Amino acid sequence: MNIDVPRIFELYNDAVMYDDPDTPSVCFRKEGHQIENCTECGLCLQRCGMSIAIPERLRDTLRMFGGNEV
Ligand code: SF4
């Protein structure tokens, strides 16, 4: 679904680590990430070697940053 999970989690981690969602939120919107396209198919769960609940964390990120309306 063309979802750049590593980049999205990098932005999410920056927001949490620096306790500042504003700057990564701007990057998130300008980069045009479309988390809404996630179908929760689970393919990334099968391939992730770190047992991260990727679809759930993507939803967390979407809640933090909102959609792509700029
Ligand atoms: S569950 Fe994972 S592989 Fe499936 S659409 Fe969402 S991000 Fe992509």
Q: Is the pLDDT of residue 70 over 90?
A: no
Checking if the pLDDT of 32 tops 60, the result is yes
The answer to the question of residue 34 being in a domain is yes
Half-sphere exposure of 68 (CA within 13 A, CB side): 10
Residue 44 in any domain: the answer is yes
Q: Which atom of ligand 1 is nearest to the CA of 41?
A: 4
DSSP-derived secondary structure for 5-68: HHHHHHHHHHHHHTT--HHHHHHHHHTT--GGG-----HHHHH-TT---HHHHHHHHHHHH--S
- Which structural domain range is residue 28 located in? 5-65
User: What does the pLDDT look like over 33-42, one tens digit per residue?
Assistant: 999 999 999 9
* Measured distance CA(19)–CA(47) in Å, rounded: 30
Confirm whether 28 is domain-assigned: yes
Quick one: pLDDT at residue 69? 47
Mean pLDDT within 37-61: 94
Residue 70 lies in a domain: no
Domain count, the chain: 1
Look at residue 20 and tell me if it is in a domain.
yes
- The whole-number pLDDT of residue 16 equals 95
**Which of 40, 47, 57, 59 for a ligand 1 pocket mutation test, highest count of atoms within 8 Å of Cβ?**
40
